């Protein structure tokens, strides 16, 4: 399946998918699978979505790349749409912000961290983030990631990062000193096990940041663009961050990330401060434009809220499902010890794949489910029966 010449960075893959359509994938053995993972919350509009496919194909025939030395016809529409959606929640800013494109999540986090440092100035470069968080694999994003085991092989980490327990405002207050200039949080910790922040916590963090002159950075790379039942996860708490990172769903699989910032914060970046050869190229923005148009047409947040409630209800009827947590179509299923019978959630996910359902083990005891917005209730029900069958065995 994969080559011996490939670095062994991801372990042995359990399947080779060769084709997809909507919420379905087919592997090289002709097996059909329901995709309840979306390539890690990326393909929200499903596979081979005609609007995205057509936009990418047409752009590839026209112009793929010119670099940021030149303007791009698509930029204005994409940044205006993103800015409008980011400020669309109750409590959203009246004043438009500004966007910087990147190619991935980690790069968006790096750009956000550099922007925060430049804005806050020397001596206030410290960033507090949460244990259990995930912000990417590049060195600064990794340092911000609150998982010490992921730091260990790569020590020393870049300086200036500290971590506090998630959803605990007292711990955050206690971690502040004059060197801290920013707080970086996810509205739902995705890789950390699909753990939502409470609305009260995010409101208290916003207030604390206002009082202390700290920037609030929200990492919406996994949660952004409808998945939690709001355009952005922080909108549930009716707060507006100073900086927002996004990526995964933005290109429906075409790599594109972005950073949004309030205008006064965004103004800290001057020409030469940051850059990326590919970022915001015509091909990526053609995908992003098609994704944003289609997500608004289907009202992605309302769709995620409705289908997420349906799925949660079905999951809770399964023997062996202890509890379901998360928001919208970003869910974790906590499996009972009895149903796991000594198996890890990863082993259960592998058994689901054998039966035609793609999910992943997000903690040793929980599965993550992130189906696309285009999934049908019939497909959600079918996926639940596959899971029920896997949990029944032994």
Ligand X SMILES: *Cc1c(COP(=O)(O)O)cnc(C)c1O
Residues carrying an active site annotation: 134, 219, 248
Q: What are the C-alpha distances in Å from 364 to residues 71, 133, 344?
A: 47, 16, 5
Q: Among residues 20, 132, 136, 253, which is the contact residue for ligand X, using CB under 6 A?
A: 136
- Please say which residue, 285 or 387, places its beta carbon nearer to ligand X: 285
CB of 255 to ligand X, least distance (A): 8
> Which residues, 6 or more positions from 316, have their beta carbon under 8 angstroms from its beta carbon?
324
Q: Does 224 interact with ligand X (rule: CB under 6 A)?
A: no
Contact status: 186 vs ligand X (CB under 6 A): yes
According to the binding rule CB under 6 A, does residue 252 interact with ligand X? no
**Given 36, 101, 134, 234, the residue binding ligand X (CB under 6 A):** 134
Q: Nearest to ligand X by Cβ — which residue?
A: 105
167 backbone dihedrals φ, ψ, rounded to 5°: 65, 30
- What are the φ/ψ torsions at residue 107 (nearest 5 degrees)? -65, -35
Q: How many residues sit in the footprint of ligand X (CB under 6 A)?
A: 15
Q: Considering the rule CB under 6 A, would residue 387 count as an interface residue with ligand X?
A: no
Binding of ligand X by 191 (CB under 6 A):
yes
Q: Does residue number 181 form part of the binding site for ligand X (CB under 6 A)?
A: no
Based on the shown chain and the rule CB under 6 A, indicate whether residue 135 belongs to the binding site for ligand X.
yes
DSSP state string for 93-135: -SS--EEEEESSHHHHHHHHHHHHHHHH-TT--EEEEEBT---
Of 43, 81, 102, 104, the residue at the interface with ligand X (CB under 6 A) is 104
Angstrom CA distances, 380 to 172, 279, 309, 377, stand at: 39, 36, 11, 5
Contacts 24+ apart (CB under 8 A), 265-272: 265/115, 265/116, 265/119, 265/215, 266/97, 266/98, 266/100, 266/115, 268/115, 268/118, 268/119, 269/100, 269/115, 269/118
Is 221 among the residues that bind ligand X (CB under 6 A)? yes
Mask for 335-364, x = binds ligand X (CB under 6 A): ------------------------------
Distance in angstroms (rounded) separating the CA atoms of residues 137 and 183:
19
Bridge partners (DSSP) listed for residue 92? none
CA torsion sign for 151, 155, 157, 162 is positive
The region of 99-107, 278-286, 320-328, 379-387 touching ligand X under the rule CB under 6 A is: 99-107
Tell me if 109 contacts ligand X by CB under 6 A.
Answer: yes
Q: Judged by CB under 6 A, which of 247, 321, 324, 359 binds ligand X? A: 247
Across 204-320, the runs of DSSP E, i.e. the strands, are 215-219, 243-246, 257-261
The partner residues of 376 in beta bridges, in order of sequence, read: none
Least distance from C-beta 373 to ligand X, angstroms?
18
Binds ligand X by CB under 6 A, chosen from 45, 55, 100, 106: 106
- Our finding on whether 327 is near ligand X (CB under 6 A) is no
From candidates 24, 35, 219, 242, binder to ligand X by CB under 6 A: 219
- State yes or no: residue 105 binds ligand X (CB under 6 A): yes
Closer CB to ligand X, 184 or 349, in the complex: 184
Closer to ligand X at the Cβ: 308 or 320? 308
Binding status of residue 242 toward ligand X by CB under 6 A: no
Of residues 72, 120, 222, 240, which one binds ligand X by CB under 6 A? 222
Token pair 């994938």 in the structure block, residue: 25
Contact residues for ligand X (CB under 6 A)? 104-106, 109, 134-136, 186, 190-191, 219, 221-222, 247-248
């Amino acid at each position: 399946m994969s080559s011996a010449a490939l670095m062994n960075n991801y372990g042995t893959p359990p399947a080779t998918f060769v084709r997809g359509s909507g919420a379905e994938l087919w592997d090289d053995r002709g097996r059909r699978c329901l995709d309840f993972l979306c390539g890690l919350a990326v393909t929200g509009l499903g596979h081979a979505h005609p609007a995205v496919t057509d936009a990418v194909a047409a752009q590839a025939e026209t112009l793929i790349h010119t670099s940021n030395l030149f303007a791009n016809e698509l930029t204005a529409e994409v940044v205006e749409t993103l800015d409008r959606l980011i400020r669309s929640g109750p409590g959203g800013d009246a004043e438009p912000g500004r966007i910087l494109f990147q190619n991935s999540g980690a790069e968006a986090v790096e750009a956000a961290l550099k922007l925060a440092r430049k804005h806050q100035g020397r001596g206030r470069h410290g960033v507090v983030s949460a244990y259990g968080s995930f912000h990417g694999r590049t060195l600064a994003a990794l340092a911000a990631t609150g998982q010490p085991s992921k730091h260990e092989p790569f020590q020393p980490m870049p300086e200036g990062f500290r971590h506090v327990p998630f959803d605990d405002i007292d711990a955050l207050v206690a971690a502040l000193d004059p060197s801290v200039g920013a707080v970086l949080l996810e509205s739902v910790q995705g890789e950390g096990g699909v753990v939502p922040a409470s609305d009260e916590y995010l409101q208290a963090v916003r207030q604390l940041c206002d009082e202390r002159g700290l920037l609030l950075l929200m990492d919406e790379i996994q949660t952004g663009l409808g998945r939690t039942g709001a355009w952005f996860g922080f909108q549930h708490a009716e707060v507006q961050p100073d900086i927002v990172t996004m990526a995964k769903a933005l290109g429906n699989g075409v790599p594109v990330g972005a950073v949004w910032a309030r205008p006064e914060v965004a103004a800290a970046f001057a020409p030469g401060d940051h850059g990326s050869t590919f970022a915001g190229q015509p091909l990526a923005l053609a995908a992003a434009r098609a994704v944003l148009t289609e997500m608004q047409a289907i009202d992605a947040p309302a769709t995620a809220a409705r289908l997420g409630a349906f799925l949660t209800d079905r999951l809770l009827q399964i023997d062996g499902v202890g509890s379901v947590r998360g928001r919208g179509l970003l869910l974790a299923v906590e499996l009972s010890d009895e149903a796991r019978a000594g198996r890890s959630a990863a082993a259960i996910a592998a058994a689901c794949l054998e039966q035609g359902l793609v999910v992943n083990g997000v903690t040793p005891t929980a599965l993550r489910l992130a189906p696309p917005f285009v999934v049908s209730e019939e497909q959600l029900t079918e996926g639940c029966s596959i899971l029920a069958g896997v949990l029944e065995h032994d």
